[in-house]
Amino acid sequence: STALVDDVTRILVELGGGHLLADPAAHQLIRSQLGPASLRHGTTFTVSGAPRWSHHVLDAVLKVIPLERLGVHFHDTHGRALANVYVALTYGVATVDSSAGGLGGCPYAPGASGNLATEDLVQMLHEMGIETGVDLDQVLDASFHMETLLGRKLPSRHLQVARSHRA
């Protein structure tokens, strides 16, 4: 399905089983709806979360969408979000959605965990030598603050490590 966000400034193609990309009519729908927008390849909790699936999806999407208009959005339900980002980076994708602490989820996917945590993403990118312009300490501070407000620990792996160093 396609979800229009912010008056068609971004389109998220949620790939439940991947049937969307196999359908030529879906390609036409994407082209007709896209206009000047950008496209996000996203996964929630299905088998499409496997990194090999991201290769398949990106190969298909890049046949109809220019690379500079493509971004990715991954949930981290099976701990695969960073692996999927790495796949996207090998294709040249430069736009990746994330959320502080891994907050978020999916209202139509019961049991799906949060989004890719910004601090996990930034840490990986910095370790790869990719400059992000993001201050990792400020993201960690924001995530710790959100934990306090929510009264629970957030799923970010880097936050767990930082918590042990701050204790």
* Cβ atoms of 90 and 131 closer than 8 Å: no
Phi, psi of 134, rounded to the nearest 5 degrees: -100, 130
List beta partners, residue 74: 43
Terminal Cα distance for the chain, rounded: 44
Establish how many alpha carbons lie within 13 A of residue 123's alpha carbon, considering only the half-sphere containing its beta carbon. Answer: 19
Q: Is 95 an active-site residue? A: no
Q: Which of 50, 83, 106, 134 is catalytic?
A: 106
- Round to whole Å and give the CA distance between 12 and 42: 7
**Distance from the Cα of residue 51 to its chain's centroid:** 12
The burial of 11, by beta-carbon neighbours within 10 Å (0-12 exposed, 13-18 middle, 19 or more buried), is given as buried
Question: Which sequence positions are flagged as catalytic?
Answer: 106
